[in-house]
Amino acid sequence: MMSPHIPVPLLDLKPQYASLRVEIQAALERVAESQQFILGPEVEAFEREIAAYSACAFGVGVSSGTDALLIALMALGIAPGDEVITTPYTFFATAGCVSRLGARPVFADIDPLTYNIDPDGIERVISGRTRAIIPVHLYGQMAEMDPIVDVASRHGLSVIEDAAQAIGAEYRSRRAGSIGHIGTFSFFPSKNLGGFGDGGMVTTADGAMADRLRILRNHGASPKYYHKVVGGNFRLDALQAAVLRIKLRRLDGWTEARQTNASKYRRLFVAAGLCDPASPAAPTDDYPVVLPAEADRRRHIYNQFVIRALRRDGLIAHMKARSIGHEIYYPVPLHQQECFADLGYRPGAFPESERAAAQTVALPIYPELTARMQESVVSAIAEYYQAGAA
């Protein structure tokens, strides 16, 4: 039976705020009364809390997930002539920061099941100029870290985990951001832990590295007005830290709600006959939808619930007409971006990334999504494929 369609946004942050309004307003008021806006005790407390949550010794609060990546690369001394290996199927910042330092992003294709960098492709692109690897834990599921760390250590490379989408995710009982030399996080509002604006964090187990990161985020000054290195203003605001500290206490509950929503989608898609329960990697006429795969021994935190869909562009036009929220993360792999044309990659260079960019679409998965909303999403998708089959 088809449930009547109701509009469903991709993400609605208002119910979350409504449930925290009193606490958050008190925290904002506390910062306002202190009139201490830049770094300070709220930021320091939040750094300790994120470090503990992510099983890392140190956290350094910064202005965004992008700046977290940038100062991680700066702290490693990445410079013109260096190469950094990463995935072409990620948000732009991962590779953009490498280029901003004059270094060269070198791509390796993804595993089509998890959409994360395929460790088997990394060794082939290592050169004498390679300095680091940036695995990205895309959509909330960690990359296959053991072989990545192994290849990095055999070649003397640093590993930066881009954990912007993966706070609290686990790989073999280890937390995102705690396995590589450095982890980077984003508190952009649409991330699982989102602030009232931009914010980010860098994590590390290395005390000397943490000192270097703290100096870099504040114009390279240590002490004040004595500049050891050229850094920048990459500081986290106390107001953001105050809001994020309150939200962090709820994060595990929200993650469980996202996981529950993911299980509900699985049941609904199977019940609608849209996906093969044996979950192959490609959509077919019989089974036009491929659900997200959970790799072995992971805690997937479902920052996004991304399906592969037959005739994807037709499907999203239909979803749009039915007011069903959706987004393509990401429509153009990085090796095909105009600004990276000079890297010299050809179309077809990374077939799995290109296929993913052409076939995937993200569905609403936020914690407050209701059962009726999920039914509406799946029935709109079922309607599209029934019409196509008729």
Ligand X SMILES: *Cc1c(COP(=O)(O)O)cnc(C)c1O
Query: What is the binding site for ligand X (CB under 6 A)?
Result: 64-66, 90-91, 93-94, 136, 162, 164-165, 186, 188, 198, 200
CA atoms of 171 and 136, how far apart (whole Å): 13
Please name which of 103, 105, 119, 107 lies closest in space to residue 153, comparing C-alpha atoms: 119
Q: DSSP code of 67?
A: H
Q: Which residue in the block uniquely carries the two structure tokens 């050169």?
A: 127
CA atoms of 127 and 19, how far apart (whole Å): 51
Q: Which is nearer to ligand X, 198 or 375 (CB)?
A: 198
Burial 223-245 (b: 16+ CB within 10 A, else e): eeeeeeeebbebbbbbbbbbbbb
Q: Which is nearer to ligand X, 27 or 136 (CB)?
A: 136
Minimum gap (Å) between residue 65 Cβ and ligand X = 2
Minimum gap (Å) between residue 268 Cβ and ligand X = 26
Q: Which is nearer to ligand X, 126 or 164 (CB)?
A: 164
Q: Which is nearer to ligand X, 137 or 322 (CB)?
A: 137
First-to-last C-alpha distance (Å) of the chain: 18
Minimum gap (Å) between residue 184 Cβ and ligand X = 7
Residues in the chain: 390
Minimum gap (Å) between residue 331 Cβ and ligand X = 15
- Which amino acid, residue 293? A
Minimum gap (Å) between residue 387 Cβ and ligand X = 34
Q: Which residue is nearest to ligand X (CB)?
A: 65
Minimum gap (Å) between residue 245 Cβ and ligand X = 18
Is the sign of the CA dihedral 133, 68, 249, 17 positive or negative? negative
Minimum gap (Å) between residue 121 Cβ and ligand X = 18
Q: Which is nearer to ligand X, 178 or 376 (CB)?
A: 178
CA atoms of 312 and 320, how far apart (whole Å): 12
Ranges of H-type helices in the chain? 14-34, 41-53, 65-75, 93-100, 145-155, 207-216, 238-248, 251-271, 312-321, 351-359, 371-389
Minimum gap (Å) between residue 124 Cβ and ligand X = 23
Which two tokens mark 233? 């203003």
Which two tokens mark 219? 């114009």
Q: Which is nearer to ligand X, 66 or 240 (CB)?
A: 66
Please name which of 96, 111, 112 lies closest in space to residue 164, comparing C-alpha atoms: 96
Ranges of H-type helices in 54-157? 65-75, 93-100, 145-155
Confirm if 366 and 12 have CB atoms less than 8 A apart: yes
Q: Which is nearer to ligand X, 114 or 165 (CB)?
A: 165
Q: Which is nearer to ligand X, 100 or 266 (CB)?
A: 100
Minimum gap (Å) between residue 292 Cβ and ligand X = 16
Confirm if 143 and 163 have CB atoms less than 8 A apart: no
The three-state secondary structure class of 133 is strand
Minimum gap (Å) between residue 201 Cβ and ligand X = 10
Q: Which is nearer to ligand X, 164 or 289 (CB)?
A: 164
The three-state secondary structure class of 62 is strand
Q: Which is nearer to ligand X, 170 or 198 (CB)?
A: 198
Which two tokens mark 42? 């709220």
- Integer-rounded Cα radius of gyration of the chain: 21
